[in-house]
Amino acid sequence: PSQRGNPVLRFIRNVPWEFGDVGPDFVLGTSSCALFLSLRYHHLHPGYIHERLRALGRSFGLQVLLLQVDVRDPQQSLKDLAKVCLLTDCTLLLAWSPEEAGRYLETFKSYEQKPPDLLKERVEQDFLSRVTDCLTSVKSVNRTDALSLLGTFGSLAAVVGASREDLSLCPGVGPQKVR
């Protein structure tokens, strides 16, 4: 409700939104919310954001402080806010225009359920590379180790079921097999 008239709202076009009586400025999903702050406003009312943050507490899993940089020399206040965010478990995001801020908000909403695959390394889909990928996720196993393990034991089942002695017989694998 406090955000009525915020120019950012004009730029939230790709997802539906509505006014509601909520604690934070924006509730983006079941576990995430955002506070919006413009640096110019912050300079006028430096106490405002602290109050808001205190009121918010730690009720959401992800709390974003969306900061719009609209002053010339943001360095000092940016530093302070970064510190505040670190202490209050907020994630700081910077936007340089209302468009950008709006974009962040709508992306948060629309990506709420998206798996992180986009960020991960592409894993090829064939069996061999998946198995090696799988095995290398174990500490101290590298790509060649993975292949030699597979070669000696035949299948993943056998590798996992193998005893400590069997494993240490493999070239390049010392006694660091902890499982």
Site string for another protein, 25-64 (x = CB under 8 A): ------xx----------------------------xx-x
Instruction: Give the strands of the sheet with 91-95, arranged side by side.
Output: 26-27, 32-38, 62-68, 91-95
Binding status of residue 99 toward another protein by CB under 8 A: yes
Binding status of residue 173 toward another protein by CB under 8 A: no
Among 19, 23, 43, 111, binds another protein (CB under 8 A): 111
Binding status of residue 170 toward another protein by CB under 8 A: no
**For residues 21 and 143, which CB has a smaller minimum distance to another protein in the complex?**
143
**For residues 45 and 130, which CB has a smaller minimum distance to another protein in the complex?**
130
* Residues in the chain, overall count: 179
Tokens linked to 96: 């340089």
Residue written as token pair 């409700």: 1
**For residues 1 and 113, which CB has a smaller minimum distance to another protein in the complex?**
113
Residue written as token pair 């965010």: 85
Dihedral angle, C-alpha 16, 20, 26, 31, nearest 10 °:
-90
